[in-house]
Amino acid sequence: MEYRTEKDSMGEMKVPADRYWGAQTQRSLENFRIGDEVMPREITKAFGILKKASAMANHALGKLSDEKKDFIIRACDEVIAGQLNEHFPLVVWQTGSGTQSNMNANEVIAARGNEMAGRQLLHPNDDINMSQSSNDTFPTAMHIAAVLGIEDQLIPVLDVFAATLSRLEKENDDVVKSARTHLQDATPIKFSQEISGWRSMVEKAKTMLMDSLPGLKELALGGTAVGTGLNAPAGFDQIAADQVGELTGKAFVTAENKFHALTARDELVFAHGALKALAANMMKIANDIRWLASGPRCGLGEILIPENEPGSSIMPGKVNPTQAEAMTMVAVQVMANDVAVGMAASQGNFELNVFMPVTIYNFLQSVRLLADGIQSFNDNCAAGIKANRGKMKHNLHNSLMLVTALNPYIGYDNAAKTVKKAYEENISLKDACVSLGFLTAERFDAVFNPEAMV
């Protein structure tokens, strides 16, 4: 491999000749050989956006020449498009402020811009990092990436899944089945009513996520090192936030209190709480579906789900609810991520939180896993759910909890006696009720209608 020599404030470093990064990125590569979790590409893109917005703001304020602004923008556009991803090699496990990833962006954009210009026009610190600090750019990148992930990746998938459930509701509005509480038989319910609970879970989770977005759309940019805005010209924060909004199509604003914006990660905790709520709901929905589909002969067997692949290497013909299993594993990971996000956010000391890379790594993983997991679950499982109407009817009419309909006519205590007799003697509720003398056969038939109990 060929190398070139780069310099920073600490001296010279050998850097691969075919890479745009400089000495500070190389130092990080060599000093933090920890794990293989590379800084999320969503953060790389967010840095491209904020560096472009900063260049535009600095130019508008007369701090940056036309020529420098133009080459910075051209290089940033390549970062945003993902064309320079191989030049962003740093791992998550680095400085807690994300300084090295900020410098990685500064060095790559400067080097690529200089290559385009054909001369040494741009300096990583003086030009690309102008009016900024790692302490305000990294939290800004976190918020940009979080908003784009929620709005552009996750919310559209939730809308698709909710639409699938709404369709299933309409298709199954005439199906009555036994409900279950405490994993025990309960009074009847329409299958559509059961599905409506799932749909409402998805819609409620979406509402919670939407409620978290205003806080995430507040940007720390302009606070610089400690929130005072040192070395940032007046108005830079507002103009830069407006430019980020223009570039993304999102309503980003400058954070009113930059001291809060640098040291607190509460907006991400709040938003990830909504992600955890969604994960909890998806755990419940996926479990309901796989249990309802259990069988085919020795389980509940009340619904049929798509058969996607063989389920066993030893049992021929076995098919498993694999999409539900994948979805529940995603839910577990998101719940675990929530612990990391919350603990990391609690570690803001004085003017800066230094657990930012691990916070955003877990946050973006949760968004990505939920978006991908729910899409897969929708397409490969939920969309193909069919009610096993015969099994539902059989289970419904064999449920002892239908006796609840008799309470107004024979009283709770007599209804309990009826259930016990029916269960112990393995006879029908009607036979038990009539033999105990609580109702005549004719009266029982007149008041007992399971399908009307929903």
Q: Kindly list the catalytic residues.
A: 182, 312
Q: Dihedral sign for Cα 139, 140, 142, 147, please.
A: positive
What's the rounded Cα separation, in Å, for the pair 138 and 141? 5
The answer to whether 327 touches 373, Cβ cutoff 8 Å, is yes
402 Cβ contact list (under 8 Å, min separation 6):
187, 188, 396, 429, 448, 450, 453
Vertex 125: Cα angle to 122 and 127 (nearest 5): 40
Checking 58-65 for CB contacts under 8 A at 24+ apart, the result is 58/130, 58/131, 58/233, 58/236, 60/239, 61/233, 61/235, 61/236, 61/239, 63/130, 63/131, 63/233, 64/127, 64/130
Helix axes 155-171, 356-380, angle to 10 degrees: 30
Residue 298 per-residue DSSP state: S
User: What does the block give as tokens for 145?
Assistant: 């990436």
- Number of Cβ within 10 Å of residue 219's Cβ equals 29
What's the rounded Cα separation, in Å, for the pair 115 and 107? 12
What's the rounded Cα separation, in Å, for the pair 214 and 315? 52
Single-letter amino acid code for the residue at 127: D
